[in-house]
Every structure is written in structure tokens, then in C-alpha cells.
Amino acid sequence: QVQLVESGGGLVQPGGSLRLSCAASGRTFSTYSMGWFRQAPGKEREFVATISRSGGTTVYADSVKGRFTISRDNAKNTAYLQMNSLKPEDTAVYYCAADRTPVGYPSTVIYEYDYWGQGTQVTVSS
């Protein structure tokens, strides 16, 4: 079992930046691919970004490409999501997730992920 804890959310003005962190328990972090997803009020949870076990492969949703950067530090059991040029439509609860049996490319599909954090609120508003 892996426990994931997100942090770093908050209120930011349009055009601003935030860095989310996802701290994982256990000693098998480096064997999981990691993903970030988000859910806005009244909408379904959607894919944001994912990173392979080694960090060598990343995939982004078109809506965040060029603005968000996913990374990981396997020595610290932590994944990150750097969010720049934030827009009001980025407002959502952001969740990190771990895929414990990644095959090939890191997945963008929600049901491929086995462990989820509790989420952190990001609000972009002036």
C-alpha cells in the first residue's frame, strides 16, 4: 500500500505560478509511474500530466502543454507539478496518483492508477 500526500495548492492570480508536491510513503516509489489529475466543480476528473518511473518520459494534456512541468525525485519519494501562466480554467482540485504496474508509456487513463492522494485545491482568480 502506498500513501500519497499532496501539498502546495492555494489561491493565485491569473498568470501566476504554483508548485504542487506529492510525497509518497514506502520504498517502491521508483517503480511507479506518477500522474497528476484534476477535477473542477461539476466536471469529471481529467488527466493533466504523467511521468515514467525514471523520469525520462513525460506526457501532458494539450490544455497544459508548455505551461506545466511534471518531475520527480526518486531519492525523496516525491513528484512535482510546476504550474506557470495559470488561467482561471485551471481552477480545480489536483490529485496525484501512482500506477504500480506501468507497462511501456506512462498512462493517461484514470483507471490505470492504483493509489490516489486526497487532493489539493488550486484556485486561479483575481
The percentage of residues in the chain with a pLDDT greater than 70, rounded to a whole number, is: 100
pLDDT in tens, 9-39: 999 999 999 999 999 998 899 999 999 999 9
Q: Are 108 and 59 spatial neighbours (Cβ–Cβ below 8 Å)?
A: yes
pLDDT of residue 101 exceeding 90:
no
The DSSP bridge pattern shows strands 120-124 and 18-24 to be unpaired
pLDDT of residue 96 exceeding 90:
yes
pLDDT of residue 102 exceeding 90:
no
Average pLDDT, the chain: 96
Q: Report d(CA 100, CA 98) in Å as an integer.
A: 6
Q: What is the pLDDT of residue 27?
A: 81
pLDDT of residue 56 exceeding 90:
yes
Q: What is the pLDDT of residue 114?
A: 95
Write 69-73 long-range contacts (CB < 8 A, 24+).
70/34, 70/36, 72/34
Mean pLDDT of 70-82: 97
Q: List the grid coordinates of 41.
A: 466543480
Q: List the grid coordinates of 53.
A: 518511473
